[in-house]
Homo-oligomer: A and B are copies of this chain.
Amino acid sequence: MQQTRQTKQRKIILEKLRKVHTHPTAEEIFQMVLPLLPKVSLATIYRNLEFLEKQGEILKLEHKNNESKNRYDGHTEPHRHLICKKCGEIVDISCCCCCQMNKKDLAKYGFTVDDGFIEILGLCKKCSHK
């Protein structure tokens, strides 16, 4: 396998992403790192996000709910996402005992489930009141 290099771009992208508790898009991450990397390209953001996801350093949320943009998560500890079908808001919730139950149930189907990858789509408080 080929060597990997620790670039300024890669380092800063990961740092910024870990610092926030939101789930920004590639474009938003681009804006976040711009002050530190004035010449960075959006393609570099995409390439590094892909790299970091493959390394297991970040999560890629591929549910295009409201909009068609992917979102990224710098926090990889097991948790679930509530995604509002209407406004797209993403809420982190910690894993409950349910996960274990699911895993057992899912074994029947030969499915291996990572707790981090259960997404629950519904309506957020604000949206369900309209």
Contacts and interface: CB of A to CB of B under 8 A. Distances in A.
Interface of A: 62-65, 82, 84-85, 91, 93, 96, 98, 101-102, 105-106, 109-114, 117-125, 128
Contact of A117 (B85, B112, B114): B85
28 contacts: A62-B64, A63-B63, A64-B64, A82-B111, A84-B111, A91-B109, A91-B111, A93-B106, A96-B101, A98-B98, A98-B101, A102-B120, A106-B122, A110-B124, A110-B128, A111-B120, A111-B125, A111-B128, A112-B123, A112-B128, A113-B120, A113-B121, A113-B122, A114-B122, A117-B120, A118-B118, A118-B119, A118-B120
A63 B63 CA distance: 5
